[in-house]
Structure 1
Amino acid sequence: MTEVIARRGYRGPSDDDAIEAIHTELDALWDDASFVPEMDRMTFTTAVIESAANIVQHAQPVGEKPVEIDVDITVQPTRLVARVSAHNAREPFAEDMQADLPDEEAESGRGLALIEMLVTTVTFERQDGTNTWILTRET
């Protein structure tokens, strides 16, 4: 098993306050893992925040319970990993999962393409009403 040097997380309602809380957790993570190069910090932070923002903006509840966001971020010796989950959420539509950049005049639809440019891998899992994006960046 790969050694985890630092870990931070957040779980709560899927709202604008969650984005601020996740930013705070990322700032604390970089304090704990100051050896991570600045470029890796910036690109990974952008990818995690973009993933979380997509959940806040687009995730729809599967039932009566509201969507909750859950972010678990780990720093390993040569890898950054974030599991960004939407609990109690509908499965995204196939068109929501497209990673192609839209045309220049489109006002949205760049999120997944941007995330894929910033990290090494992006994977998606769905289990028991939870959508999880796993972002990995090799450092």
Structure 2
Amino acid sequence: MLDKTINLLVIDDDDINIFIIKKIVEKTGYKISMTAKSNGQLAIDYIKETLENNQILPQLILIDINMPVMNGWEFVEAYTGLNVTEDINLYILSSSVYENDIEKTKSYNNVKGFISKPLSLDRLTELLKEVEIKQF
């Protein structure tokens, strides 16, 4: 494992889920800078600001589907319109059990997959390994 920081963006309106993910992040052994946004619009604004200020974008984004203001699908559409050139790993992280949500994930080229909540330490570690291999 390299000593570089991985930037993680979590988009979820549930404070308990954010808390759980923070605790899991602490147990991975990776150096992670985690940012959490409570809806897709705040996340889009964050990414735009990051781009405008030439800051480092997140290498991994976990997106809940059901949120106020801008849901996960609307975020993915808006994110696609930003024309981000970096290859960022986007994953839908949802408690949805609907097959159409899992299938819809496959219709977006920039979304790598669907993860059912709750996020596990093993699954997050797998995602971080993917980022590490690709980025560093």
Q: TM-score range by the shorter chain?
A: 0.3 to 0.5
The higher radius of gyration belongs to 1
Query: So what's the TM-score if we normalise by structure 2?
Result: 0.36
**Structure richer in helix, relative to its length:** 2
**Structure richer in strand, relative to its length:** 1
Query: So what's the TM-score if we normalise by structure 1?
Result: 0.36
